[in-house]
Structure 1
């Protein structure tokens, strides 16, 4: 029997940067010798899977696209069977896998993952959607094991108060970790990788501790 790989969900609204986050962290993980595969979810296409395959940092066989055909969070919460089958296929094909990333289709702030599917999950929001997102108290943002506030470079251009987002994220998440990222410059991505190491890849003891607030 192949070993069971750790499973990490990555959710968040459309355009928040979920796929860009995967593009940023997978090379950092593989550079450390961590064996990674990815499952993506889209409604009626495999667009995100095709995008990741074109990047070339994983062999195409390590990326599976799931067409959910229904509300995106149905496939990651209410009935994750399609994703569980994709995970099983990857584990059979690559028994050495350490980590499988499962990207949700774009959804709203209520989207959460079933822990029958994942061991932990990240929820991604972006600064461009407004600095009021943390205080909207969406279950995905509040309950996730890690929240990522992406596109921090846009704050001056969209009138978002990043300091307010930092303080309210800490308040509404009750001190659970929040990391602030810019996937284009790799800002904060090393902290996301450290979170993954500490939370799921316990053998990586040398990883620095993730600080709440993602300074």
Structure 2
């Protein structure tokens, strides 16, 4: 029997839980991109970050497989730690890449090597920010599966125009991936509006990072080709 003092929406089972595999695929893709980076763009040994990310992912999948529906402070801490580890690696690679572009590194002498390294770093930042939005918006995927707040941190078109959404609609990882991609290419919000202060700051930081990577990489690659 549920505690009568517990809010009704907390005692109900998850209505629309998120599948685990899209989030897991994003983590695995990021780890593979880390393995493919040149040594001077990677934080630590080649195996270090992918190993840590893999162990954290295994812990999440083991405790809450298939669908993300288990609300647990410990699991949420593991998920946020995983995103933080990925973010540290991506930011380090971004800083190292920008430094190489400014001062001339090993990758800057070949347009193909430069585009490959720049594309890997840029893609990693997109994945990191998509997972950041995914984990922080409205308390995370497990919380969203049980209850959507009236004022989410990120307002999707379905929030702004409820008549366009299905009953019990919840944003999925693909929605946050799309947000991360469009914010990295348009350098500004497109169809998703940041409402919370942290979301505005995160989207600003992502736009600045993306602009720096794309601008410097393309400019340097054109210079090498010419």
Kindly indicate which of the two structures has a greater share of residues assigned to strand. Answer: 1
Task: Tell me whether the two structures share a fold, i.e. TM-score over 0.5.
Answer: no
Normalized per residue, the structure richer in helix is 2
| TM-score, normalisation: structure 1 | 0.27
